[in-house]
Amino acid sequence: MPREPLIGLVGKPSSGKSTTLNRCYVQKLATFRKGHPTLNGCVNGRRSVPIELLDVAGLVPGAHEGKGLGNKFLDDLRHADALIHVVDVSGTTDAEGKATRGYDPSVDIEWLRGEIVRWILGNLMEKWGSIKRRHVAVKANAVDTLQGQLSGYGSTSTVVARCLDKM
């Protein structure tokens, strides 16, 4: 039986992640078995299906370098099927979740995405020598080699190929 989708809630400390329910439901089209829709909770051909939310502790700038235990929290995100970035748009907490006034919340979107990208890049670069040696030894193509390293982050060969094409 497939597991419930795991959605990671990410953001800085005090952004409202923990106030989000631990469990919620999304609407999905009803499935059909032997010509009959599953009626368990169906309303007008739709049924509620559970999802699980992963409330990751607040991330701060420098998390990819371990600041605020960031590497552990970033590693927790690998298990999520999708991420929802919770942003406090009030402007009353800074990037580290400390009380302030007039903070621009759009800054949070930029630095959090950058933290995730730098964390993945750091993990990749840490192993780059052995990745390169194995790539040459087995005469692999670039997509297969990179996919082998990025699969733990939910990557697919199609995504890796598309990224390489863009580069």
Check pLDDT > 70 for residue 6: yes
Instruction: DSSP for 111-140, please give it.
Output: HHHHHHHHHHHHHHHHTHHHHHHHHHHHT-
Which domains, from first to last, does the chain contain? Answer: 6-104 (3.40.50.300)
Q: What is the pLDDT of residue 152?
A: 82
Contact call for residues 7 and 51 (beta carbons, < 8 A): yes
Q: What is the pLDDT of residue 21?
A: 60
Q: What is the pLDDT of residue 79?
A: 82
Q: For 17-48, what is each residue's pLDDT tens digit?
A: 777 665 565 555 544 444 444 445 666 777 77
Q: For 55-78, what is each residue's pLDDT tens digit?
A: 777 777 887 777 776 667 777 788
Contact call for residues 96 and 105 (beta carbons, < 8 A): no
Mean pLDDT, the chain, as a whole number?
80
